[in-house]
Structure 1
Amino acid sequence: MLAGVASDDVIVNILARRREPPRPLTIVTPEDLALRHPPRADCNRYDSLRGLHAAA
């Protein structure tokens, strides 16, 4: 490939991307699906759920 020259595959790829619809900026979550208690990063809680005989 010469410097500054694009192959036909590259051009077709660029044109195909321009035809894609724009992605939505935000997703509206219905109130029924909203988390009442957001997850916490708590490793001690995770370890307690695994039990005493879990493989380390």
Structure 2
Amino acid sequence: MRKAYEREFEEATQAARNGDMRANATLTEQAEALLKEIEHFNRGLLRNFVPACSS
């Protein structure tokens, strides 16, 4: 999922460099949605994380 985010973000950057602000906005929005999914997934992992007890 992280690679998909990076790919979308890179495409958005390229669109901006090429002056295509509409594509940049769309791709940035998609990249941000992926980032939110990643963060949501990571929060779920942290919530369920139980540290090992050292004896």
In the superposition, the TM-score normalised over structure 1's length comes to 0.30
Higher relative contact order (CA 8 A, sep 6+): 2
Q: Computing the radius of gyration over CA atoms, which structure comes out larger, 1 or 2?
A: 1
